[in-house]
Structure 1
Amino acid sequence: MFHIEYITFLVADFDTAYHAILGRLALTKFMVVPHYSYLVLKMPAPRGVLSLQANLTVSYDCEKESLALVKAFDLSARMEAYLTESKKVPEEAQEIPMMEAPQKATKAKETKEVSLGLTDSTKTMRSGPT
């Protein structure tokens, strides 16, 4: 034995990880009790309570896919905003200024001899250009 109920719903053409989104009216019509923690929908049936259980792994994958879609749409919207703002900047302000090459360090022209030891004056070091 089975029971058929017809409901009217709208189909929206957009990317989502979910197959169906039931609103409060649909849940009320079928007297559904959702248990979000256990991913179970319970509703009365002619021979007791009908339980519809979801797969936790599939649900988690759908959630990850939804988050990836949201990030992609958000990034796309921000890129459009940046592109629109960049078109407002005049072309001469968009040029990248050329930097001058760094100057070479000047070298010392004379050699200095420095004593390394306090008591032995023969231990010295020569400092100067290479």
Structure 2
Amino acid sequence: MITNANQYTNAKEAEKVLFRKVLIDGGSALNLLFAEALRELGLGPTDLMPSDSSFWGVVPRRASRPLGEITLPVQFGMATNYRVEHINFYVADFDTTYHAILGRPAPAKFMAVPHYAYLVVKMPSPAGVLSLWANLSVAYAYETESLTLAEATDLSI
């Protein structure tokens, strides 16, 4: 869940949104939020900080430029056991299955340990260990859809 971001978005308050399609990518060095997810938060391009960075790996054989950067509070868990940290995202305008991709910086900030084989992430929280489990069939469906979109992007280049 990405929540109230008023101090990070020019005094504009972001909507509270539960994002269920978030990929934790231990091979990525950056956190990406996709433009459609930014719109779901009630935010737009004017809420972004400019960025002159480029990154590789989303569009095959091409560098990509983000629309900008934004820092948002990200919450894992529910009301009885949760953890919130402020995460910096590059915002990218791609058609994708996911709302966001969390690279190594986000789990490191949460002190989270992803266990990819079991589809679980564990992290410390004030109420003890917070364990987040994914559903294998849902994860497989998202990954299949993501590969289909990647192949379509590759063919259109």
TM-score calculated relative to the size of structure 2: 0.45
Give 1:68 shift.
0.8
Aligned residues: 77
Q: Which residue of 1 aligns with 2:144?
A: 64
CA contact (8 A) 2:87 2:106 kept: yes
CA contact (8 A) 2:85 2:109 kept: no
CA distance in 2, matches of 1:61, 1:3: 27
More strand by share: 2
Determine which structure has greater relative contact order: mean sequence separation of CA pairs < 8 Å that are 6+ residues apart, divided by chain length. Answer: 2
Q: What are structure 1's unaligned runs of at least 5 residues?
A: 78-130
TM-score calculated relative to the size of structure 1: 0.53
CA distance in 2, matches of 1:19, 1:62: 11
Q: Which residue of 1 aligns with 2:126?
A: 46
CA distance in 1, matches of 2:83, 2:113: 18
**SS of the residue 2:123 aligns to:** strand
Identical aligned pairs, as a percentage?
65
Give 1:3 shift.
5.1
Structure 1 residue 25 corresponds to structure 2 residue 105: yes
**Distance change >3 Å, CA 3–CA 31, structure 1 → 2:** closer
More helix by share: 1
CA distance in 2, matches of 1:54, 1:66: 17
Q: What are structure 2's unaligned runs of at least 5 residues?
A: 1-79
**SS of the residue 2:122 aligns to:** strand
Give 1:8 shift.
2.2
What amino acid maps onto 1:64 in structure 2?
T
What amino acid maps onto 1:15 in structure 2?
D
**SS of the residue 1:34 aligns to:** strand
Structure possessing the higher radius of gyration over alpha carbons: 1
Greater than 6 Å deviation, 4+ residue runs: none
